[in-house]
Chains A and B, each alone.
Chain A
């Protein structure tokens, strides 16, 4: 599933970042890598979301969120 499909107040683990080169690197510099846990703190319907990652809050747009692959926490259980 993608991060964009994620629900608020949930933890997800990043399994892949597939955005444009420049944004991917920026995300990686911000600490969003494979294996990183992100927490969706806030999200607007069909729009941007606020995630908590490595102790900081990031606002990311729909486009980026829908290109970040995360593992579904329900499937893991």
Chain B
């Protein structure tokens, strides 16, 4: 039985803790290959809602959670997936450090049973550490579907009698047995080495172990460290500066790896039985999706479909939300008026908060559909394939296809997209991808496109909004190409990524994914956008002389007017737009909410009906500047697509690049690009149209 809440009373708990002290608290690390289901298992046991998807490298940080089992308080640590206990990638460093940490008492090695052979390589390394290991055989259902049988009696025998527990993280079966094994095994402690190397290597390991024990008497896993010393592992060598050149006379890594795989081959021979050969479902699907010629067109077709749904179905549902918000706005203003609330407060409530926050809430359907589509893409197993089919195009601009994954995530939100660049091997590629990711329109820019294309392009709104995504991608590729030109002589990373089996997207995973994103969005609406709306309302209604009746005299107008000369060449020479763009740096949705507040206030005499109706904004923009047409609107959309990302993204870029100068350069670069593109567009457009 698993209880997420503590069942015992507090006094009981304190008493047992006194008796058992540390014993009733177990620290467990979940370790395994990328995409083997560690996070799904972690979520199932702890009730967490961490992101899960079907491509390698979703988890890039370690996360803690806990559960109670049989009187034990079990702390679980979810780690990024790794193929080996080396320390070349960021993920490997994080996980290795976590596994070796003395706090971690039991290692749960999560294994994808459908690719046992590759997964066992890490298992053998984990066993060498000497800590208790429990093998969680995940995805047994897939194994059975593909017509394979595993000998679950023989497997543990070949792995030093560690507990082997079949589980299904997705179906949440086998959880109790797994926890039982963890708790039980923890009491049992570690066992002897499973795999013996050639006589020569074993001799050296033995000598090194003796040396290790002499220098570090309290060392917990001398054998593992001895092996790592023979593999010339840099970190272990640095941490243990003992003189070993006479023993480790060459790098034995290759031999050690080969011995492990030879052992695994035998294990597989004894444990895996193919009942029938089926053409795997995955291979059938792959005939189309990664077809050498059709792969790329199919991908673009899929993405077009995703955005088509986002805009058409989303806009249809959005009209109901708009109706709701304006209804609510009318009610609030009439109640307040009849209750005799002072006009400035009504203005704050209706024109400030409801217009700003409510206006952004109407975009919930669009955003929900976009994230639903992204969740389905990510959970199906298609993401890795995209890296493969885009490798050729990306290769032309000096990046591997893998760099395309963060860019796709960028359609959702730039922050996790930039975190996802961790999966890229070289620092150079990471930086480059970080520069490119903001060109992918994130979900917060979506409302801007919907708003402006809806007002100015009516029947072509969907097409115009979608053009922003295409332009963003094209510019990203052009920028990557130019960066590649200027960084001559640098060898680009080659693609190396696992393609998982396709699977039916899991309903729970999809729900968690979409709900988490929507929750983020709503929290932003309730906090950042709420506060920004109030601030903008204040800036528009107050000036140097106190509350003003003409917004043109307000603080906002003063700030906005400073930016007019800069924005005028792009056809955006209105102080309101200056304010909207400036406020949009906090979060991109705020461009829209401030447009609502800004153009709701210009005719502040009329209190009621100041909600976010698209028609009213259009009228008011025209009332202020009759010349503002589709050309200006498109220029505005371009500028919003390209100008500096939101504060959260800037902070993430800074954190992930560890380099202030780099972040600063990226920001300047994006500002310049945005300005240049929108100015060139507007000027050419004006010239061509003969205005």
**Which residues of A line the B interface, CB within 8 A?**
19, 22-23, 25-31, 33-36, 41-48, 50, 54-64
Given known contacts A25-B88, A64-B494, A64-B496, is B253 in contact with A59 (CB within 8 Å)? no
Assembled-state Cα–Cα distance A29/B283 (Å)? 24
**In terms of DSSP, what is the predominant structure of the interface of chain A?**
mixed
CB contacts (< 8 Å) of A45 on chain B: these are 292
Assembled-state Cα–Cα distance A21/B84 (Å)? 15
Given known contacts A27-B496, A50-B388, A63-B494, is B117 in contact with A22 (CB within 8 Å)? no
Instruction: Identify which of A29, A41, A57, A61 contacts B121 (C-beta below 8 A).
Output: A29
Q: B475 in the interface, Cβ–Cβ < 8 Å?
A: no
Whether the pair B290, A50 counts as a contact (CB closer than 8 A) is yes
Whether the pair A59, B384 counts as a contact (CB closer than 8 A) is yes
CB contacts (< 8 Å) of B496 on chain A: these are 23, 26-27, 30, 58-61, 64
A11 nearest CB across to chain B (Å): 15
CB contacts (< 8 Å) of B492 on chain A: these are 63
Given known contacts A33-B258, A45-B292, A47-B395, is B86 in contact with A61 (CB within 8 Å)? no
Residue of B nearest to A60 (CB): B496
Interchain residue pairs with CB less than 8 A apart (17): A19-B494, A23-B425, A29-B83, A30-B83, A44-B292, A44-B392, A45-B292, A47-B395, A48-B388, A48-B392, A55-B114, A57-B282, A59-B401, A59-B497, A61-B495, A62-B395, A64-B495
Residue of B nearest to A43 (CB): B292
Assembled-state Cα–Cα distance A54/B425 (Å)? 23
CB contacts (< 8 Å) of B263 on chain A: these are none
**Which residues of B line the A interface, CB within 8 A?**
83-84, 86, 88, 114-118, 121-122, 253-254, 257-258, 261, 282-283, 286, 290, 292, 295, 384-385, 387-389, 391-392, 395, 400-401, 425, 491-500
Whether the pair B261, A47 counts as a contact (CB closer than 8 A) is no
**In terms of DSSP, what is the predominant structure of the interface of chain B?**
helix
Whether the pair A31, B118 counts as a contact (CB closer than 8 A) is yes
- Listed residue (A28, A58, A60) with the most chain B CB atoms within 10 angstroms of its CB: A28
Assembled-state Cα–Cα distance A43/B23 (Å)? 55
Given known contacts A55-B115, A56-B118, A61-B495, is B257 in contact with A28 (CB within 8 Å)? yes
Assembled-state Cα–Cα distance A19/B121 (Å)? 21
Instruction: Identify which of B88, B116, B389, B500 contacts A26 (C-beta below 8 A).
Output: B88
Residue of B nearest to A51 (CB): B499
Residue of A nearest to B82 (CB): A29
- Listed residue (A26, A58, A59) with the most chain B CB atoms within 10 angstroms of its CB: A59
CB contacts (< 8 Å) of A43 on chain B: these are 292
Instruction: Identify which of A26, A33, A36, A63 contacts B83 (C-beta below 8 A).
Output: A26
Instruction: Identify which of B83, B282, B493, B495 contacts A48 (C-beta below 8 A).
Output: B495
CB contacts (< 8 Å) of B499 on chain A: these are 50, 57-59
CB contacts (< 8 Å) of B121 on chain A: these are 29, 31
Residue of A nearest to B392 (CB): A47
Assembled-state Cα–Cα distance A31/B265 (Å)? 11
Whether the pair B261, A33 counts as a contact (CB closer than 8 A) is yes
Whether the pair B391, A47 counts as a contact (CB closer than 8 A) is yes
CB contacts (< 8 Å) of B283 on chain A: these are 41
